[in-house]
Amino acid sequence: MAQALDTLKATDPSAGPVTPAERVARRKALLNWIAVHALGVAAALFFVLPFVFLFLTSLMSDQQALTRDLWPHPFEWSNYRKVFDTPGFLTWWKNTLLYAGLGTVLTVVSSLPVAYALAKFRFRGRHLSLMLVISMMMLPPQVVVIPMYLFWAKQLDMSGTLWPLIIPMAFGDAFSIFLLRQFLLTIPNEYLDAAKVDGCGELRTLLKVVLPMARPGIAAVALFQFFYAWNDYFGPQIYASENPAAWTLSYGLESFKGAHHTDWNLTMAATVLVMAPVILVFFFAQKAFVEGVTLTGVKG
Amino acid sequence: MSTRTGTYTLRSKRRRATLVAKRRKAALRTAAFMSPWLIGFCVFFAYPLISTLYFSFTQYDGFAPPKFDGLKNWSYVFDEYTLFWPALRNTLWLVVVMVSCRVVFGLGIGLLITRIKTGTGVFRTLFYLPYLAPPVAATLGFVFLLNPGTGPVNSLLGELGLPTPGWFTDATWSKPALTALAVWGVGDLMVIFMAALLDVPKEQYEAAELDGATAYQRFRFVTLPNISPIVMFAVVTGIIQTMQYYTQPLVAGKVASGVMGGSGQQFEPGYPDKSTLTLPQLVYNLGFQRFDYGSACVVALVLFVLAMAFTALLMRRRSGLIQAGE
């Protein structure tokens, strides 16, 4: 505030004579401001224009979408209706919500105790466990997919469903464990010791003390896992491709393009409908992040 | 005297017994907390990894029991399988060009956002947003934006009198098009670099300015040395991500080639002309299209070795790198 007042005073000509050196410096700062913000606007256009083009195309008629026009004429809002009326589209939504929602809950519940143990317990093999968690995190899913597919499809007869993707999430997810562990490291041990003095066991300490303090970390992990499941293409391709009733949006979207191969307008409308929830969730969660970080006073 | 030592040993024995009991309790507690991951590690990591190694030496189509076959699958993949070397070359291309473009561009956007003083939050959100776009949707969008005939990008290039490449339909331009898509989603690196740039001590800049350093010199001799661990982290994780690069090249190839999507439809892998093939796609091609599980496992192991080599690089200076990347 004081600084702002100083600047005000400096720009106020009645405050006193301005030396030429000051004037040069101020002009340089202004030019710098303009250059930086012009670059910022250019970069913003690069990042945003693709979204704008997709959205505008999604409102064109099928004929117009094949032209070089950029502005829809007339606006065909009914494209979105048509996408929802496509057989299967609502099922894909339902499946995606089940995969992403249930998967996220299972991941958080199973990963939190592991992350807590890795962050706060001292035991032999802790370092090794952490190394293995990181290795699992970096492992491309295709490396183990053959035996995993044979396990789920041939032994448990679960191909054509999303369960081979959801069930493993009940056994900890390496990335979530790692991220939560990094977050739990920032919680001072004094809080845990105080809880133990009060007679809490480790489980009670985790639930009553750590859980409320780790909320921003848990929100971040939940968000990442939700997006992972929402975006996953390889998993549904392996396990669900034979059964369209089990497809997710990410997998179905590509076949949507196949079925409407010249209707770019409908394909873009479907694309917007797949992108929109992720972006909406982000806008809500962004606020939750900031609030969580400021409320708990834990540096995230 | 003797009674005294007697009680002493008794007491120490009892103490040791309680200590042992306590330790056992602590070990059990640790095992209980770790159990979800311990099970997950065995069932979803260790077992399938060993299994993959075993299958790579067998002939197996999923129906007849696996038959030991020595190194036949290995020599098939390296010598006869026509998609293996193109896929490896593509991966190398992507590691060199795509990863460096993403790092340079991410650093540039990070530098820019730390200098923007008005509307920082809005700019940051706009820069970050494309990173969140679901890969299938983003790829479909880019295939449309870059379609050679009527796409907005080529319309614009045409107006400006610039060449209008075939992008996803032209083997020389398909990887640059994928690079454009990857650079568009650079938000993750921007956030990492932004945090690192804000952590550079202010005094060092002030000192450099007093010494009369130019903007470039300040960047070269103050900024870069301070953030070099993060740059290293971005490069190595970028390489590991490139090993796993699957959805975007596959969807781009499928959609650009115009095949019907969905199950069972065959399409020319790596369209156009194998230029978008990556190693993970070969696992799918061999395992789930040709039902040659043995050879698929060979490619899976190549992928495993490459990914783990770079992971080891990341962990070698764990304290610096991994922590830097949180």
pLDDT tens digit string along B137-156? Answer: 999 999 989 988 888 899 88
Neighbours of A226 (CB within 10 A): 22
Q: Which residue has the higher pLDDT, B263 or A170?
A: A170
pLDDT band at A286 (very low <50, low <70, confident <90, very high): confident
Structure tokens at A291: 């609030």
Decide: residue A74, CB within 10 A, 0-12 exposed, 13-18 middle, 19+ buried: exposed
Q: Residue A12 above 70 pLDDT?
A: no
Q: What pLDDT does residue A6 have?
A: 47
Nearest CA in chain B to A254: B261
Q: What pLDDT does residue A290 have?
A: 54
pLDDT tens-digit profile of A165-205? 999 999 999 989 988 898 888 889 999 888 988 888 888 89
Nearest CA distance, B203 vs chain A (angstrom)? 19
Q: Which residue has the higher pLDDT, B263 or A254?
A: A254
Q: What pLDDT does residue B304 have?
A: 95
Q: Are residues A242 and B263, on separate chains, in Cβ contact within 8 Å?
A: yes
State the residue for tokens 């956007």.
B109
Structure tokens at A68: 């070089």
Nearest CA distance, A73 vs chain B (angstrom)? 16
Mean pLDDT of all residues in chain B? 87
ipTM confidence score: 0.86
Instruction: Enumerate the residues of chain A whose CB falls inside 8 A of the CB of residue B307.
Output: 138-140, 143
Query: Which top CATH class is B82-324?
Result: mainly alpha
Q: Residue A71 above 90 pLDDT?
A: no
Neighbours of A93 (CB within 10 A): 17
Q: What pLDDT does residue A63 have?
A: 81
pLDDT band at B319 (very low <50, low <70, confident <90, very high): very low
Instruction: Enumerate the residues of chain A whose CB falls inside 8 A of the CB of residue B118.
Output: 33, 37
Q: Residue A292 above 50 pLDDT?
A: no
pLDDT tens-digit profile of A72-93? 888 888 899 988 888 888 999 9
Q: Residue A295 above 50 pLDDT?
A: no
Measure the CA–CA gap between B326 and B322, rounded to whole angstroms: 7
Mean pLDDT of all residues in chain A? 85
Nearest CA distance, B306 vs chain A (angstrom)? 10
A40-43: long-range contacts, CB 8 A cutoff, minimum separation 24:
A40/B112, A40/B113, A40/B116, A40/B123, A43/B109, A43/B112, A43/B123, A43/B127
pLDDT tens-digit profile of B51-101? 999 999 999 988 888 999 889 999 999 999 999 999 999 999 999 999 999
pLDDT band at B4 (very low <50, low <70, confident <90, very high): low
Q: What pLDDT does residue A4 have?
A: 45
Q: What pLDDT does residue B191 have?
A: 84
Q: What pLDDT does residue B5 have?
A: 52
pLDDT band at B176 (very low <50, low <70, confident <90, very high): very high
Q: What pLDDT does residue A5 have?
A: 44
Q: What pLDDT does residue A164 have?
A: 96
pLDDT tens-digit profile of B273-287? 899 999 999 999 999
Q: What pLDDT does residue B324 have?
A: 35
Among candidates A47, A135, A147 on the partner chain, residue whose Cβ is nearest the Cβ of B126: A47
Strands (E), chain B: 58-59, 67-68
Nearest CA distance, B144 vs chain A (angstrom)? 8
Measure the CA–CA gap between B194 and B71, rounded to whole angstroms: 49
> A110 with A171: CB under 8 angstroms?
yes
Q: What pLDDT does residue B326 have?
A: 35
Mutate to test the interface with B, among A39, A46, A47, A131 (most CBs of B within 10 A): A47
Neighbours of A90 (CB within 10 A): 11
Instruction: Enumerate the residues of chain A whose CB falls inside 8 A of the CB of residue B141.
Output: 50, 53-54, 268, 271
Q: Are residues A37 and B116, on separate chains, in Cβ contact within 8 Å?
A: yes
pLDDT tens-digit profile of B9-46? 666 777 778 888 888 888 999 999 999 999 999 999 99
Give chain A's domains with CATH numbers: 17-80 (no CATH), 87-296 (1.10.3720.10)
Q: What pLDDT does residue B74 have?
A: 95
Sign of the CA dihedral with B80 first, then B84, B90, and B95 last: negative
